Amino acid sequence: MCGIVGYNGTKRAVDILLDSLSKLEYRGYDSAGIAIRDKDIEVFKSKGKLANLKEKIENIELKGTVGIGHTRWATHGEPSENNAHPHISNDGSVTLVHNGIIENYQELILKLEKHNYKFYSDTDTEVLTNIIDYYYKKYKMGPIDAINRTMVRVRGSYAIAVMFKDYPDEIWVARKDSPMIIGQNKDGVYVASDVPAILKYTNKVYYIDNLEAACLKKDQVIFYDLNGDVIKKELTCIKWDAEAAEKEGYEHFMIKEINEQPDVIKKTINSYIQDNKIDLARSGLTEDILKSFKQIYIIACGSAYHVGVCAQYILEDLTRLPVRVEIASEFRYRNPLLDKKGLAIIISQSGETADSLAALRECKKQGVKTLGIINVVGSSIAREADYVLYTLAGPEIAVATTKAFSTQLIVSYILATEIAHIKRKINKKTYLELIKEIQTLPDKTKNILDNLTKSIQKIANKFSYIHDAFYIGRNLDYAISLEGSLKLKEVSYIHSEAYAAGELKHGTISLIEDNTLVIGIITQKEIYEKTISNLVEVKSRGAYIITVNPNDLDVSKVSNFTINIPETNKYFYPSLTVIPLQLLSYYITVSKGLDVDKPRNLAKSVTVE
């Protein structure tokens, strides 16, 4: 989950590396480091955020035009300058940055110690650096042979950028199960973990596949397979706007991305709905293919899993297909029984989520067709899935997802509506009504942001001191409660839980006392009265209740503070209820003085198990 960057060109490398690393701090901010090649390789590292590294080198003149950099999310070894990347082999022949985990590093340590290698850090990355050095010296056939032998020898995941002392004008890279993208323009060649890091410099990129390596020269990229043979790759154009990865006057990326939701929701809708008709042709999902599925599995992690919970309610109700939602990290370890006539939907913003990628591969192994709902074009899941539906959220920088979550919801609505229509579970009139209502969601989202932000900010300031919060709802309201609760805990560090409202009396209500914050989501009219009854129960025990509900539902008897949202179809309320919950989490966090974009211990993209 670390971030790596590299540059080989005609410009000062230090400026590009530091700027690119600043775009990758969402991947880790325990420590940072760079290695710059002039006559020799100079390494600079610092514990903590990137600002500490910048301060450390601000008065050092670094003219080199070749370099690699790293921002760390600690796995092996505590956050420290010693454990920070880049790492150097014993005699300085190899300098390396790494994203991933080497699972058999202890076995490799024993091997290297027999050959008199010593270790100064607690990291698996230093071991990786020295095993490359070992093969480089043993076989004396150059960087590609050393890297390929290492790829065969190590187990785990990695994206690496390597500088060899004997090859001053080259950077070597390789990957397995960790993200990497290579860009090129007239000023040189770039490598990074994610697109935003290099989008300012180029939108022309290469995608490097698993167990491939590449040599980055100043004006070209040469790709190799595991046999050391040269392979050809085509440049791809990234259509993201570079400005989308900047704050553009907002205090934080999170509030910027919350406010971008009406626009990205509209873009996502327009990419699949034209002339009152859903068109999934670009994904390869034809009518015959959609008709063939007898079961749906939804597999995801974190917020994407919460999208899956919402989608389960909607898909089952509209399509009448059985739907099962799976936590990706648990999926393959329970030896799942899968129907070969089923469809496995993998939801991931980055398309690189390690557990979700492993689940996709398990589904394919069992002969189940896979569909990725993905935000990043060319990512691992996007390339490996049988079908892909892209969300058009653009680059999302804040660790806590907002706009990617909302666009994933939109794609779920569109997919459910189309399957229901093709399978004739809804008539033409209902089909057109659902499409029309989906198209109103951008304006209704904007209405919430325009009219409710200030009042939510005021109520949020009142609750910055709390230690616990509970989110409750039923059906789709419970599903979105899961996301609201996660948003609060991950950025504000307030303990928060979400419960299906009817479960409160089965133990949890014992935690309610005077002024305990309870957020009730109430949109589903068929079960509205039951949720109200549950809120009455907690209010009688002293809870302070905030409700999120449409204007046509009366909550005056239970609510201490009411957040009224526009009305919509019952299936689409998650898109509207989530906006106030995002704002509430954001403003509570800001009032506590915390770093809302980079919450402690978290990284944006979880690319290791």
The position carrying tokens 């014993």 is 90
Cα–Cα distance, 373 to 384 (Å, whole number): 12
Name the pairing type of β-strands 188-192 and 230-231. Answer: unpaired
SS3 track for 103-122? CCHHHHHHHHHCCCCCCCCC
Mind giving me the DSSP string for 382-433? HHHSSEEEE-------SSS-SHHHHHHHHHHHHHHHHHHHHTTSS-HHHHHH
The position carrying tokens 């229509």 is 421
* Residue 14: C-alpha distances to residues 452, 510, 537 (Å): 44, 57, 60
Query: How large is the angle between the packed helices 261-272 and 441-462, nearest 10 degrees?
Result: 150
CB 56 within 8 A of CB 241: no
* Residue 371: C-alpha distances to residues 14, 52, 294, 298 (Å): 40, 42, 15, 9
Q: CA 490, 496, 498, 502: dihedral to nearest 10 degrees?
A: 180
CB 475 within 8 A of CB 316: no
Outline where DSSP puts E strands in 258-362: 273-274, 277-278, 295-300, 323-327, 342-348
Who contacts 134 (Cβ-Cβ below 8 Å, separation ≥6)? 111, 112, 115, 117
DSSP code of residue 309: H
Cα–Cα distance, 89 to 84 (Å, whole number): 14
Q: Catalytic: which of 45, 49, 176, 604?
A: 604
Who contacts 391 (Cβ-Cβ below 8 Å, separation ≥6)? 264, 268, 349, 373, 374, 375, 404, 407, 408, 410, 411
| Closest to 346 (Cα-Cα) out of 389, 393, 316, 313 | 389
Cα–Cα distance, 16 to 299 (Å, whole number): 37
Cα–Cα distance, 176 to 151 (Å, whole number): 8
SS3 29: coil
Q: Look up 2 and say whether it is catalytic.
A: yes
Cα–Cα distance, 408 to 396 (Å, whole number): 13
Name the pairing type of β-strands 156-164 and 369-374. Answer: unpaired
Cα–Cα distance, 543 to 559 (Å, whole number): 10
44 beta partners: 34
Catalytic residues: 2, 604
